[in-house]
Every structure is written in C-alpha cells, then in structure tokens.
Amino acid sequence: MKIKVCGLKHPENIEAVAALQPDYVGFIFYDKTPRYAAGLSADALQAIPASIQKTGVFVNESAENIDKLIAEYGFNAIQLHGDESPEFCAAFKGRVTVIKAFGLNEDFDFEQLKDYANNVDLFLFDTKTKIYGGSGKTFDWTILDQYKLDIPFFLSGGIGPENIAEVKNITHPQFYGVDLNSRFEIEPGLKNIEKLKDAFNIVKNKIQQMKYGVNEQGYYGDFGGAYIPEMLYPNVEELRQQYLTILNDDGFKAEFDDLLKNYVGRPSPLYHAKRYSEKYGANIFFKREDLNHTGSHKINNAIGQILLAKRLGKKRIIAETGAGQHGVATATVCALMGIECVVYMGEIDMARQAPNVSRMKMLGAKVVPATSGSKTLKDATNEALRDWIGNPVDTHYIIGSVVGPYPYPDMVARFQSIISAETKKQLVEYTGSELPQYVLACVGGGSNAMGMFYHFLDDESVKLVAVEAAGKGVNSGESAATTALGNEGVLHGSRTILMQTEDGQVVEPYSISAGLDYPGIGPQHAHLFKSHRGEYVSITDDEALQAGLLCCQLEGIIPAIETAHALAQLEKMKFEANDNVVICISGRGDKDLDTYIKYFGY
C-alpha cells in the first residue's frame, strides 16, 4: 500500500516527513487553504529522495501556472483537486503522473469517471464537503464497491491515527494507497512526525528500527528468522502479517493497557532496596514483577497474546511452561476470557512445580505432561508445536518467552517492554535520570530480561547484565549456561545460541530453577551477547539459593529461584557509590518454597 503525505510547507518538516520515506509528498498551490505552499523555496524540495513522488496539488489552476510550478519545483506528479475536465488532465498525461481527485458521498456517480480513464494515472477519492480538500472528514468506504474501473486510486479524507489500521481491511483490487493530511497535523501544514511514524509502521507493517531490534526479515544480526516445518508456515505467517497491525491498533492498546492496570495491577513498583544498597554500596532498585497478579512478569505477555488471538479469531489457546509461571498466567487469562486452554509441561517440571500445576487445573486448563527427552521445558515446547501443527485454524500458541520463530521473539519482547518503559519513568522520580548504570535480569529463554532491557538497549551507557543458570557448575555436565557452553544453531524455530553436541543434538540442560532450565536463549539475546551489548554470566544453584535466602532476610521478599540468580550476581560486581542498579524481580518464590525448605533444612 502506497502512502502519500499531503499539505507540506515548512522546510524542516518536509525533510522529516521525507525521512519516513512516503511514496508521495504533496504541496498545495491553492490560496484558500491554510496549507498553501506559496513562498516555499524550491531548494526545500532538493533533499527529497528521487524514490518519493513530489506532487503539486492544484484546484482549478491554469495550465500555464501548473506548468510553471512543475518546472520550478520539479514535480513528478500533479493532483488536480478541482473541477478539471478529462481534456485538461490529458494535457499533462505522459509528462507527469496525473492524479485526479473527486469528493465522494453516497450520491456520487461513478459513471463520470469513465471519461477520465484514459487521461489520468490515478484517482484520489476524498470526502465530498463544501471545501475542496483537507476537511479531516471520512466518507463511507463501502461506496468504493461501486468503483469498477481499472485505474488505481488513493483513499483520502479524514484518515487519522484512530482509523489508519482499518484501511488495511479494504480489499478493493484497485486500492493503491492512502493520503494522509490534516489528521496528522500539529497545525495546518505542519505534520506530526511521531503520529506519521506510527501510521507508517501500521500501513507498511514496518518494524521501528532499533539498533539491537529485529529487522524486516525477522533477524537480530545473525540470529532469529523462522525455521519451521512447512506445516507450521500458515500459522506463523498469519501472525507475522498481523501482529504489528494489531499491536498498533488503538482499540487493542486501550484494552491491553486497561487490563495491565486494573487486572495485573501495573505499574509494578520500583522499590529502592535500602539494605541491599547498604550491603553492595550502590543504589539498588528492585523492579517488582513478583507483585503482578499471578506472581510474575509472564502475565504481561499472556494478556497481550490472548487479546491478539481473539482478534485473529482463535478459539483455543495452547502454551508450554517450565516453572509453571507462564502456564499459570496463560490459564488465568484464558479463564478471564472464557477460552479453552491446554498447557504442555515437562513431567519433571510438573513434579518440581506441583502447586502451579494445581493452580492451572483450578483455573480450568488442561495440563499435558511432556514425557520425552529431559521431560522439561524444551520437551514441553516440542509437544506444543506438535499440537499447533495439528490444529492450525482455531488454535493460537502462546509462547512464553522471547524464543521461537519470528515474530514471537519480537512480539513477546514488545509485550514485556512495559517493564523497562515503567522503570525509566520511575527512576526519574528517584534519581532525576531515567538511565541507571546497570540493569540485571535472569535469562532462561529471556523474556523478563528482554522486557527489562528493551527501552535501555539504545542507551549504551546502561550496562546490561544477563544471568544464566550454571546449575551444578558450568563444566559439571549439569548446567544451563547457554552462552558459556553453547554455539550457533537452530532451536525451536529460530537461529540462536544453544547447547548442542558436535552433531547438532540438543544437550539436556539442568538448573534447579525450572524457568531457567532451557538449552538456548532467545535470538535477540544471542545478538546482544555476540555484539557485546550485554554481559552474559552464570550463577550456580547454590549461589542462587543463598541469594534467595539473603533477599528474604534483608528485604523480606522471597524471590523465585529464577530471580535469585540475578540477585546472586550482585556478589560478583563492584559498584561506585553513586551507581544506580536495577534488578528485575521477575517472580515470587512461593512456588519454590519446597526447594528452598529442602535445601536449607527448615
């Protein structure tokens, strides 16, 4: 779908709009509009790349003047927005792209367009009003069904941030593009670049480029992509095509924000841990995801994906879970929405996390044990993928981490990015700056870490520390320290770093913490590791459990054992007195009480 931005007149604004790479930009030469571009220096159009069609917009202007302005500004297209005849249009055809505009209402006679068919390149269908254009009003787009000619058309009139996503539902074969004008303005003729940027992302399904973010092909540097069996292609492709449009939809955003606030209890506090700060000689802050409804960060993603699944018309949800937190979060939101839920969980994890299994069952989910391999998270993931292949039409697979084929890693990271978005604002209140010196989080697949890192990725002064599980020791043969032990390969649909044998067989991971017991990391983490943007370290079971106990005793918080890995890393770091350090307290430790109790012999 092409994009035309119309009604520009300020040089700096023209440059900023051109940087968004629309397909057409329009300059209006009509003295009755506040967008009149008279006096605009032709130099202001010099910087516009040749790929963008520079369009002069005229209302019943003389042919001589139009020719003069074409020569002066180097227009490659003209838009005739008045009552110009087919013959008038014909005089320009072949020299420039001729766009003939018409104002439409329910009485519009499409027959009249036949006379123009050979004399124009494009039509532009605007809203019929008393003025000639820039009304900010929409017309009933179903009228377009009456248009049967084969000249492509721009849709125009009142397209704004709140209805831009709807244009993607227009299936008319000649629908060529959208024309954006007054609904994207700060004042007439001055465009709001941020609003336009969002609209471009929706229309082009574009990824907002972040240095460490995903590219259009679904890769983070060397990692990512979608390595999936052919049978999964339709499911993943549907998601790829739809996810950004849905995520950017105002209605979706409002529903997501409302549930995060009123159901999950967000924003989660950023707590200044004073006794930790004293102990470690820096300002230590805990981002309290453990206080979310269901006790971890996982609910952020579960809500996002279920809302998305509903918009995709899915009736059944499947998920995999390791520690049970993602399973509980998914079962919870399915109960809330009245949707069928099946959770796959490794048999060993089911035993380690029995209370969470009971919770899921109480919430109405079916918990299916994965009995192959190590009977842990990776095996549960395999089972879930198998289910999805068998049920492509009605089922949405909610992956709980930033793993899996594109677009999952990006989609999950976006849902979890609320963690760092809030942290930035909260830090300002404590420290006057939104940037800390360090951000720490544990990494299994890496979703709490990616949410915690997300809005700091481009602020390179912020050191990102990702803590993996070393299990019984990195070289003990019982570990999940992926970056220390792994290398590049494909796991669960994406190219990443994973623990594997020389023959490419996945090495069974081990960690006392079910949520970190995963043989790979998400592709974005692999990229952060390889590019040295993040420091990836590992912590043993013993170190984590001791750190968990310390957190209970110093701050009165029983952390999940996953989280305790991140806390344990503090012991190994040296801080300056004024350093601000944020740790993601990804989950609460109730589910791990048995493990803690057995280890410490209470």
Ligand X SMILES: O=C(O)c1ccccc1NCC(=O)[C@H](O)[C@H](O)COP(=O)(O)O
Assess whether 238 carries a catalytic annotation: no
Nearer to ligand X, 133 or 327 (CB): 133
CA distances from 259 to 299, 302, 364 (A): 10, 11, 20
Nearer to ligand X, 164 or 402 (CB): 164
Burial letters 137-146, b for 16+ CB under 10 A, else e: ebbebeebee
Distant-in-sequence, close-in-space partners of 420: CB < 8 Å, separation ≥ 6: 439, 451, 452, 453, 454, 455, 456
Nearer to ligand X, 137 or 311 (CB): 137
Q: Give residue number: closest CB to ligand X.
A: 134
Note whether 179 binds ligand X by CB under 6 A: yes
* Chosen residue from 11, 86, 136, 269 binding ligand X by CB under 6 A: 136
Distant-in-sequence, close-in-space partners of 600: CB < 8 Å, separation ≥ 6: 545, 549
CA distances from 584 to 260, 425, 428, 488 (A): 18, 15, 17, 27
Note whether 84 binds ligand X by CB under 6 A: no
Q: What is the smallest separation between the CB atom of 235 and ligand X, expressed in angstroms?
A: 37
Q: What is the smallest separation between the CB atom of 133 and ligand X, expressed in angstroms?
A: 3
Of these residues, 100, 401, 586, 591, which one is catalytic?
586
Q: In this structure, are residues 597 and 302 in contact, taking their beta carbons and an 8 Å threshold?
A: no
The residue range among 23-31, 319-327, 439-447, 538-546 that interacts with ligand X, by the rule CB under 6 A, is: 23-31
Of these residues, 61, 84, 185, 320, which one is catalytic?
320
List the structure tokens of 196: 């336009």
The residue range among 29-37, 286-294, 299-307, 467-475 that interacts with ligand X, by the rule CB under 6 A, is: 29-37
Q: What is the smallest separation between the CB atom of 59 and ligand X, expressed in angstroms?
A: 5
DSSP class of 134: -
List the structure tokens of 572: 């190994």
**Nearest alpha-carbon partner for 205 in 262, 244, 251:** 244
Rounded Cα distance between 371 and 346, Å, is 6
Nearer to ligand X, 165 or 564 (CB): 165
Note whether 134 binds ligand X by CB under 6 A: yes
Distant-in-sequence, close-in-space partners of 129: CB < 8 Å, separation ≥ 6: 103, 135, 137
Note whether 102 binds ligand X by CB under 6 A: no
Assess whether 4 carries a catalytic annotation: no
Q: What is the smallest separation between the CB atom of 151 and ligand X, expressed in angstroms?
A: 17
Q: What is the smallest separation between the CB atom of 189 and ligand X, expressed in angstroms?
A: 8
Nearer to ligand X, 33 or 376 (CB): 33
The distance from CA 237 to its chain's CA centroid, rounded to whole angstroms, is: 16
Q: In this structure, are residues 99 and 125 in contact, taking their beta carbons and an 8 Å threshold?
A: no
Burial letters 362-399, b for 16+ CB under 10 A, else e: ebebebbbbeeebbbbbbbbbbbbebbbebeeebbbbb
**Nearest alpha-carbon partner for 321 in 393, 397, 237:** 397
Note whether 97 binds ligand X by CB under 6 A: no
Assess whether 433 carries a catalytic annotation: no
Note whether 159 binds ligand X by CB under 6 A: yes
Degrees, nearest 5: CA angle 503-505-511? 135
Q: In this structure, are residues 571 and 548 in contact, taking their beta carbons and an 8 Å threshold?
A: no
Note whether 161 binds ligand X by CB under 6 A: no
**β-pair partners for 79:** 57, 99
Of these residues, 9, 298, 314, 591, which one is catalytic?
298
Q: In this structure, are residues 572 and 546 in contact, taking their beta carbons and an 8 Å threshold?
A: no
Note whether 157 binds ligand X by CB under 6 A: yes
Q: Is 602 exposed, middle or buried (0-12, 13-18, 19+ CB in 10 A)?
A: exposed
Note whether 9 binds ligand X by CB under 6 A: no
Among all chains, which residue has been given the structure tokens 């963690």?
Answer: 419
The residue range among 44-52, 90-98, 150-158, 280-288 that interacts with ligand X, by the rule CB under 6 A, is: 150-158
Note whether 346 binds ligand X by CB under 6 A: no
The residue range among 161-169, 174-182, 539-547, 560-568 that interacts with ligand X, by the rule CB under 6 A, is: 174-182
The residue range among 104-112, 180-188, 249-257, 534-542 that interacts with ligand X, by the rule CB under 6 A, is: 180-188
Note whether 22 binds ligand X by CB under 6 A: no
Degrees, nearest 5: CA angle 96-100-104? 160
Rounded Cα distance between 259 and 263, Å, is 5
Note whether 132 binds ligand X by CB under 6 A: yes
List the structure tokens of 261: 């606030």
Q: In this structure, are residues 529 and 483 in contact, taking their beta carbons and an 8 Å threshold?
A: yes
Residues in contact with ligand X, shown as a per-residue x/- string from 32 to 71 under the rule CB under 6 A:
-x-x---------------------x-x------------
Nearer to ligand X, 189 or 436 (CB): 189
Note whether 297 binds ligand X by CB under 6 A: no
Note whether 156 binds ligand X by CB under 6 A: yes
Nearer to ligand X, 28 or 319 (CB): 28
Q: How many residues does the chain have?
A: 602
* Chosen residue from 86, 158, 213, 355 binding ligand X by CB under 6 A: 158
Binding footprint of ligand X, residue count (CB under 6 A): 26
Which residue numbers are catalytic? 298, 320, 586
Contact residues: ligand X, CB under 6 A = 6-7, 26, 28, 30, 33, 35, 57, 59, 81, 124, 126, 132-137, 156-159, 179, 181-183
